[in-house]
Amino acid sequence: MIRDLQIHSKRDGRYLTGANLLRPKTQIYGSILVCVIIGILWHILAHPLFIIMLSLIPIGILFVLGYNFLMVLLFVIFSFFRIHEAFPILYSLKIPLLLSLASIFSLAWHVAISQKIKVYWTKELTVISLFFLLVVIGVFMASNRPVALHYFKGVYWKIIIMLFAIAWLTRTPKDFSFAAKIITVSGCLVAAVAISNKLQGIGLVEGTRVTIGRHIGSVLGDPNDLALVLMFPTAFAVSLLVTRGVSRSSHLLGLVGVSLLFFATIATQSRGGLLGVLAVFAVFGIKKIKSKVLLLSIGCILALSLFAFAGISDRQSGGSAEAGIDASAQGRLYAWEAAAGMAMDNPLTGVGIDNFFSNYYYYSKHWDGLNHAVHSTWFGVLAETGVLGLIVFITMITLLIKASARSVRAIDRQALSEASIDPSMQACSQAIFAGLIGTIVSGTFLTHGFTWPIYILAGLVVAISHWTEKHCYRQ
């Protein structure tokens, strides 16, 4: 068996790292040690289920290592879409924790030991890493260090690790197609729960705005955050619906996804979310409708109809009952003014990640007895990472837009030529670009500078750009 392993390793063109583990003496001593440890643990636990669970561990490890992309993608899905909070029956299973351990273990194994994952680097990853470094420095310089450290350890470092994992693991048309479908399906699940809550009047904010899981303190318990979660998969659903050449099941999934996500986003009555959805539709409209006058007319009619149908004027905050600048808009202006003040006092590091809320009292000139969220990606980054951080962040977004647009053009150009290309790559490239534009537009009113959407898209942008450089730019 040892010889077979060595021959297999030679066929791959390299020897397995840690080849000393293949020596007979090492295997014998290792086996004895494992048996002793198992015996001691079984003596302590003394339960037949222990051995059954122990026997499943090797199978689980093989599954995790064999389906590393699936592990990473599922972890991202559960962390961003909060599936376990939308369906509370899954909450006690600690699925995100298990998936995070599986993802990190699998990624480390295939990068450092098996070397099946080929690590590459791009200028986009350089700027992303620079922004990440600024955030790390800001944690230690934060005005409220425990708050910054808690968010960094609990959320942000996982986002960055998974960004690189997505970039390096998404390598084939099959990977991109699967990612687009599972993102759409996950969005449909959350949208279905949101629509159900709306119809039953469960967890409504201000009497009309739908939420999910407010009783368990879910992130989805805020209508604006829920709108962001729903807006993200909309681009993938629309792309599956309108892209020629994809399977009928993909078209059907796109149709169901667009319908559910559209009505669920409307139910949140989030202006930022609705603007993001309009931006996604606009990206595909520009591509499909040649007449700019017709496109502009349809866009205006759709925007007015959408905001009327969503019942924005009926909102308690931001509705038509409020004269002049409504309370919601005025609150944002006050928050942005406070963010600018934080950046002026801390231009290089800002007040620290997740520190805007706790600093609002000290920088607001219109204190009403409550701290407020910033409700803007740009002002949030400005306040929490300073002027330098905002410059790097805008540079990162600019590079991502250029890389994504370049990938769309390259894939479309090859699809029109004699060279064949998988339609799923067209669908994914357009969805990623539209999703990026929608996220940026909604970012004016929604806070996601340090949450999942931008970074998931960044990983996909880097991955598809790398794929097109290898398969399209040589044409």
In sequence order, what are the residues at sequence separation of 6 or more whose Cβ sits closer than 8 angstroms to the Cβ of residue 82? 190, 212, 213, 218, 219, 220, 229
Q: 304: exposed, middle or buried (C-beta count within 10 Å: 0-12, 13-18, 19+)?
A: exposed
CA distance 334 to 336: 5
333 in the same domain as 233 = yes
* pLDDT at position 62 over 50: yes
Q: What is the mean pLDDT of residues 305-332?
A: 59
* pLDDT at position 130 over 60: yes
459 in the same domain as 388 = yes
Report how far Cα 394 is from the mean position of its chain's Cα atoms.
18
Return the pLDDT at 51. Answer: 66
230 in the same domain as 126 = yes
Round the average pLDDT of the chain to a whole number and report it: 83
CA distance 153 to 140: 13
Axis crossing angle, helix 123-140 with helix 157-169, rounded to the nearest 10? 170
Return the pLDDT at 18. Answer: 46
**Model confidence pLDDT, tens digit, residues 18-57:** 445 456 766 676 777 777 777 777 667 666 666 666 666 7
140 in the same domain as 92 = no
Report how far Cα 130 is from the mean position of its chain's Cα atoms.
19
% helix, strand, coil for the chain, step of 5: 75, 0, 25
Residue entry with tokens 């368990």: 216
- Note the helical H segments in 13-82: 24-45, 48-66, 68-81
Q: Which amino acid is residue 432, in one-letter code?
A: I
Asked, for residue 111, whether it belongs to a domain, the answer is no
155 versus 327: which is more confidently predicted?
A: 155
146 in the same domain as 73 = no
Return the pLDDT at 2. Answer: 40
Asked, for residue 423, whether it belongs to a domain, the answer is yes
Lowest-confidence segment of 130-139, 283-292, 425-434 by average pLDDT = 283-292
The neighbour count for residue 449, using CB atoms within 10 Å, is 25
Asked, for residue 409, whether it belongs to a domain, the answer is yes
The neighbour count for residue 353, using CB atoms within 10 Å, is 27
Asked, for residue 35, whether it belongs to a domain, the answer is yes
* pLDDT at position 7 over 70: no
305 in the same domain as 274 = yes
Q: What residue numbers bound the domain in which 38 lies?
A: 2-78+85-97
Return the pLDDT at 257. Answer: 95
Asked, for residue 109, whether it belongs to a domain, the answer is no
210 in the same domain as 90 = no
CA distance 236 to 290: 22
Q: What is the mean pLDDT of residues 193-216?
A: 87
Return the pLDDT at 6. Answer: 43
Q: How many domains does the chain have?
A: 2
The neighbour count for residue 96, using CB atoms within 10 Å, is 20
Asked, for residue 292, whether it belongs to a domain, the answer is yes
Asked, for residue 218, whether it belongs to a domain, the answer is yes
414 in the same domain as 292 = yes
Give CA torsion, residues 419, 421, 426, 427, to 10 deg. 150
Axis crossing angle, helix 173-200 with helix 68-81, rounded to the nearest 10? 30
208 in the same domain as 302 = yes
The neighbour count for residue 462, using CB atoms within 10 Å, is 28
Beta bridge partners of 205: 209
Over the Cα atoms of the chain, what is R_g?
25
287 in the same domain as 251 = yes
CA distance 231 to 236: 10
450 in the same domain as 400 = yes
Asked, for residue 442, whether it belongs to a domain, the answer is yes
CA distance 405 to 376: 24
Farthest-apart Cα atoms in the chain, separation: 83
204 in the same domain as 60 = no
Lowest-confidence segment of 34-43, 192-201, 210-219, 242-251 by average pLDDT = 34-43
